[in-house]
Amino acid sequence: MRKKLIALITVFAAMISFAACSSDSSDTAKYKAKEITDKVKTAMNDLGELKETDMSSENWTNIMAYVTDISKDKVKDLDYLYMTDGSAEEICVIILADEDSAKEVESDMKNRINIRKSHFETYDPEEVPKVEAACAVRNGTTCILIIGNQAQNGKFEFNKMMES
């Protein structure tokens, strides 16, 4: 009986240890949002001067609302670069608490591309090619929106970072 009890305790301890390790690994992203935007921005050498907003900004939730209406408690990290002169370029990285939230944000980002395209078709057709080159992708709980002529270069860098 004593051996069975020790075996049961050992199995129980192993299960708790395994569960703790697995939940920790899914909660941590490989990179901070700013690291990702910096790398992606470097791959896109035709960008103008971009304004940056991150979670340290007082109005980050207002700025983020342009991209998604996800609840702020689902956001673990955010870095958002955008043009203030009315041109189309944007880079937005949002790291979320769970994959369901990330899927929702990815969908919102794709919708943002369609909204921006419609906007520029009406108000500034010269910006439309930048939006047509745009992409919104997700890797795990990390989502990125890239709008610009060289969005595919940025997507390549993002994918490379996520695979390493």
pLDDT at 7: 45
Q: Does residue 16 sit in the same domain as residue 90?
A: no
What is the number of domains present in the chain?
2
Nearest to 75 by CA among 47, 104, 49, 51: 104
Cα(106)–Cα(38) distance, integer angstroms? 20
Distance CA 91, CA 32 (A): 14
64 shares a domain with 1: no
Q: Are residues 21 and 39 in the same domain?
A: no
Domain that holds residue 103: 31-163
The pLDDT of residue 26 is 46
Regarding whether 82 and 2 lie in a shared domain, the answer is no
Answer yes or no: do 144 and 100 share one domain.
yes
pLDDT computed for residue 1 by the predictor: 56
pLDDT, averaged per 10 consecutive residues of the chain (164 residues), comes to: 49 43 51 97 93 94 94 97 94 98 98 97 96 97 98 97 92
Number of C-alpha atoms within 13 angstroms, CB side, residue 34? Answer: 6
